[in-house]
Amino acid sequence: MSIFLLLLYAQPINTFSEENILIFADYLYAQKDYAAALNEYQRYEFLADSIRDDVPERIVDCLINLEMYDEALAKCNDINNEVKRRFTKGTVYFAAEQYDLSRTQLIDIGESYNKEANRIIGLSYAFEFRFQEAEEYLKLPRNKPTYKKPALGALCALFPGGGHWYCGRTGDGIFSLLLVSTTALLSYYYHHENEDIKYGICLGATGLFYIANIYGGINAVRNYNYYQNEKYLEEILENEK
């Protein structure tokens, strides 16, 4: 960047003319220095009598990369072409993870943007783990995720650790089994020894650990299913590169 500046200042021209400001802004944009590029594009807009057609789009892209989504949406209104404006708004909403609003802008957008719009719509469904809808717009990997059933996880968890074993989490299952069985054995021991206070404490702990074991079994299923979705989403994103 320093070499570019030296060359620019070495020329016997006005380096602060509209044209040269735009050249410098394009250079910064190409270097992905979005904050600096945004400043230069805005300075160009302030000084120029007429604006190059793609400048508003580049400003929007800078704002997206800077995660300034509200400003990006407002800037979309400066795009003259209605179809291009809708498409750009759709990409802003997608970047902001407002997927429903993104799809509203992109559905039936027109032939010129149809292919890329369908890709973004498909990805928006994929990010919501709605793979059946995503498949209408994208070619998805063949190996779809397989899920565990929370109700079956809870049923398995009636035996301490069973919910975790159902999800393949052997270590957590053994820990739950040991925790519940240890407090249960202590409860039995103190009851046999007529130590009522210790018996009551251990019995209460056994009940709490047992309930936590059932909840943990259900949660293990949810985590398993979420991991399967995340793994499949990564495959989709890899295919879309």
For position 71, what pLDDT does the model report? 96
Distance CA 78, CA 84 (A): 11
What pLDDT does residue 11 have? 53
pTM surpassing 0.85?
A: no
Q: What is the Rg, in whole angstroms, of the alpha carbon atoms belonging to the chain?
A: 30
Q: What is the pLDDT of residue 125?
A: 97
Write down the architecture of domain 12-134 according to CATH: Alpha Horseshoe (1.25)
Cα 181 from Cα 166, distance rounded (Å)? 19
- Please give the Cα distance from 70 to 188 (Å, whole number): 63
Cα(76)–Cα(122) distance, rounded to whole angstroms? 23
The three-point CA angle 79-17-2 to 5° equals: 100
Query: Which ranges of the chain have pLDDT less than 70?
Result: 1-16
Which structure tokens are listed for 147? 């899920």
Longest dimension (CA), the chain: 101
